[in-house]
Structure 1
């Protein structure tokens, strides 16, 4: 998190390293800045909060993967009697009895235990991953209220929210999203619908006027899904549709201050999470629902050993200081976007399902379908990342900075990122430089305020340096990825 008065300059052996327009033309077909080459993977991890000095000739990513010490395998061959290795042992007593035989047995047990401890969880995870591959029969029907696919993907994208949280449902008969008529709606249906979406229960519901000519009307009895409990109709008494809120979100108890680059107050951003990989802050995250954290997919690179093992991660929520950590939450499952592209950073988004719900912590609000945020709205990004590009340690305090949303066409212009920004990305910062995310902020939130509530607009993804002129931060566009988010929350709901 950085807000500098001057544009950061990088020195490479007394030669200034500046990306010119010619450089950008040359790089337009190359991948965005790497996130996985900042720290030497062959060295031991530094003590928190110090980090190794970043190489000046590297483009700085927003993710600082921690190196993992290599554990050598036990050298057991030397303890096995030479006769056994040469096949000269001809009796059970010779092979298994006596001191040499006992040594063989002991070493085999030690090796078996070591292999089980070292590789057992990984093999189990790989096996589990294989078993959880989603398969759909040819006869599967989307949004009919019946789970046909092994992981339920056929029923995971049938519900969304419109303006004023209007509940909208698509069925296999309607094939379009329609508002749900208020007639027959009640608290029990509200709870079951929110549970279907991955929440524990509903927060509140109400009714609103709609000018829609078609509706989804409730059946006489609610089934296990809302899409299986409605029928399309052309009438609705009073044109009253359901407005549903599945959580109390986006209203922190502490009012935010209109300043930037400052230390955040306790309770100001309660949904902020710090993801620790093997004991070290690695990425940020945001609480979406009691059981789910949203973060960046690049925080879990395949090249980093065991980074996709849930047991290697701890999640701290609602903290403002790395020196005063609350009790951690543990990760039950890591869910990466299937179409995440490490080369372009497209679809750079992931969900963490926690092993137990976060209690007494207010989550962020997800935007509703079609919700637009203008540069005039208050938008902030928060994190524990570097406070300036040349810094050699991340911040122990949660930092905040006010940023401006930047239009896609501007961010893709010749002088900025020259076509590297997809529709699934959102640029934010200051084209003059000085306000930006930085290393260690990856996966953290970009939030914007509307109607007295804060909405998650983006997930910190990548950027060229920190706070550089015409190089704003790039965030995954949450509004474009809403259906994936809700779909995965439904598939993994508690």
Structure 2
């Protein structure tokens, strides 16, 4: 038998999500009223011996009440409601003249009880659905910050869905892979148009290459007669009153001199060579932008070459050692740091060290710095610059990238002599900021890469080194090794400075000023 309704209501009203002033009991009151009406209607519509009684009088004597065609008296059933609306037969009705009730009446009596029970079950189902729906409405949004996990030491599976949408900002500049011509997509035009040679200079080339993530450039004028009849939709001219910006300096037109620009931007390439914790030894020239930063004759951090005189590293590597610029030496074009090998290489002295003014040594925010070398590097197959990312460059979770360095290969502090490399996937900020990873510590100027289960990660000694990703056959410096909880621990991937957030600062510090 079903429990009394008031007990069900009391049970349902103890849920943890009842809002103030609206309990489950008040929510179910209309349902109980409906139940009462349902029971009353069932009891007032009894079929005796297959025929409805007609002209029944509620209060008249039984012998005066009309009969049906079989001679049965019309019986009026009067409901006697107990305190809990129990559907027990003794409490359901009182028969004024039991002698007049025949066998068909008892079957109909059972039918009444059955129908009432079905009605009660239906209303109970409605009550349950209503309570469930109310709880669903009051459930906290998934975007709310989880609470109560704190500094738990248990390792839990981080079941956070990766963001799969790919941010692909529209590219307005490109270099044709067929003939190296600079092409621009102006406004909403669907076609790519070549740029006229008039008013072009090397500073413009540097600006355009910078937009594409390159820092080194070469250009020349190419005759239209030499490129064939491929461009019939028009050309892009440089306006006569352009300023030190690429915005609003292009217009649709024709080339007066009959020449267009061929542009070469280069960085982020490496010689064609065969193929960290959990990593393998790298071959010479595989990561030609990787450098070792020595402080007082000891390897301290890694870094990345971006031009012949500038190296990117982490601010925490140099923050407390800034006054001793002369104690720093940069080694490039090496993979082995043994004493014999290092004696064969001449290190590059450091002229200037600049770390970002917003660097916070507690939160590790803005953990990026620049080193200017006293003498330029000589580029070769083993010494080359890495490309910077484009503006608003964002990678979706799961993108495969690479880390390299001479850091510890075990958390207990063993540093290898040979450069190590390892693949690591990008982890979305949403997942990395979840309660089972870094619980909100990741700022917009950071990114995460690694594995949920650990095993592969950057570690001490890798700091300042590169996190690089391949993009259209060139490698880009996406991150700078910054910090993490332990090394290769589950649910604590490596955290990197997001280089794309500091492009303006990098260009400004390198004093690349354009004059037109």
Deviations 1:323-369 (A, max 9, x none): 12221111111011111111211111011111111102211111112
Rounded Cα–Cα distance in structure 2 between residues aligned with 1:479 and 1:196:
15
1:467 to 2:484 alignment: no
Instruction: Give the distance between the partners of 1:397 and 1:428, measured in 2 at CA.
Output: 23
Change (3 A) 1:320 1:252: same
User: Within 1, Cα distance between the matches of 2:473 and 2:288?
Assistant: 16
Q: Does 1:365 align with 2:391?
A: no
Q: Which residue pairs with 1:227 in the alignment?
A: 244
The C-alpha deviation readout for 1:448-489, integer Å capped at 9, x for no partner, is 112121111100000000000000000000112212112222
> Does residue 1:458 correspond to 2:476, yes or no?
no
For the residues of structure 1 that align with 2:245 and 2:471, how far apart are their CA atoms? Answer: 33
Tell me how far apart the structure 1 counterparts of residues 429 and 389 of structure 2 sit (CA, whole Å): 18
Correspondence 1:315 to 2:330: yes
TM-score normalized with structure 2 length:
0.54
**Larger CA deviation: 193-202 vs 283-292:** 193-202
Distance in 2 separating the partners of 1:445 and 1:201: 19
Q: Using the alignment, how far apart are the partners of 1:363 and 1:338 within structure 2?
A: 25
Deviations 1:88-122 (A, max 9, x none): xxxxxxxxxxxxxxxxxxxxxxxxxxxxxxxxxxx
Distance 1:343-1:253 versus aligned 2 partners, 3 A rule: same
Give the secondary-structure state (helix, strand or coil) at the position aligned to 1:474: strand
Counterpart check, 1:289 vs 2:307: yes
1:227–1:266 CA distance, 2 compared to 1 (3 A): same
Extract unaligned runs of 5+ from structure 2. 1-147, 154-170, 176-181, 185-191, 223-229
Task: Determine if the alignment matches structure 1 residue 409 to structure 2 residue 430.
Answer: yes
Contact 1:320 1:398 survives alignment (8 Å): yes
Alignment of 1:176-195 (within 5 A): 182-184=195-197, 188-189=201-202, 193=206
The 3 A distance-change label for structure 1 pair 445 and 167 is: farther
State yes or no: 1:274 paired with 2:295: no
* Whole-angstrom distance in 1 between the partners of 2:481 and 2:217: 29
CA deviation after TM superposition for structure 1 residue 187, in Å: 7.5
Aligned to 1:301: 319
Preserved CA contact (<8 Å) 2:302 2:462 = yes
Distance 1:216 1:421, change over 3 A: farther
The one-character-per-residue Cα deviations of 1:167-211 (angstroms, maximum 9, x if unpaired) are 99xxxxxxxxxx99822358853587469979996245899x99x
CA contact (8 A) 2:464 2:481 kept: yes
Distance 1:237 1:375, change over 3 A: farther
Q: Larger relative contact order (C-alpha < 8 A, sep ≥ 6)?
A: 1
For 1:425 and 1:333, locate their aligned partners in 2 and report how far apart those are by CA, in whole Å: 25
Q: Secondary structure at the match of 2:505?
A: helix
How many residue pairs match? The answer is 320
Q: Deviation at 1:235? A: 2.8
Superposition TM-score, scaled by structure 1 size? 0.56
User: Structure 1 residues 491, 339: closer, same or farther in 2, change over 3 A?
Assistant: farther
Report if aligned partners of 2:403, 2:466 keep a CA contact under 8 Å in 1: yes
Matches within 5 A, 1:94-113: none
Change in Cα spacing, 1:183 to 1:265, as seen in structure 2 (3 Å) is: same
1:442 to 463, 471, 484: 463
After TM superposition, list the pairs within 5 Å mapping 1:85-234 onto structure 2. Answer: 164=174, 182-184=195-197, 188-189=201-202, 193=206, 202-203=217-218, 217-219=238-240, 227=244, 232=249, 234=251
Cα distance, 1:394 vs structure 2? 1.2
**Greater Cα shift, 354-363 or 455-464:** 354-363
User: Do the aligned partners of 2:197 and 2:261 also contact (CA within 8 Å) in 1?
Assistant: no
- The 2-side partners of 1:439 and 1:180 are apart by 49
Change (3 A) 1:463 1:315: same
Partner of 1:63: none
CA deviation after TM superposition for structure 1 residue 236, in Å: 4.3
In the alignment, the residues of structure 2 paired with residue 358 and residue 195 of structure 1 have an alpha-carbon distance, to the nearest angstrom, of 24
Give yes or no for contact 1:216–1:230 (8 Å, CA) kept in 2. no
Change over 3 Å in CA distance of 1:194–1:318 after alignment to 2:
farther
Change (3 A) 1:227 1:252: same
Cα distance in 2 for partners of 1:206, 1:382 equals 40
Q: Which of 403, 408, 429 is the aligned partner of 1:386?
A: 408
Task: Give 1:301 deviation, angstroms.
Answer: 2.5
The structural deviation recorded for 1:260 is 6.0
Q: Which structure would you say has the larger Rg?
A: 2
> Does the 8 Å CA contact 1:291/1:357 hold for their aligned counterparts?
yes
Structure 2: how far apart are the matches of 1:236 and 1:370? 30
2:306 and 2:385 in contact (8 A); partners too: yes
Segments of 5+ residues of structure 1 without an aligned counterpart are 1-19, 26-160, 169-178
Partner Cα separation in structure 2 for residue 195 and residue 332 of structure 1: 28
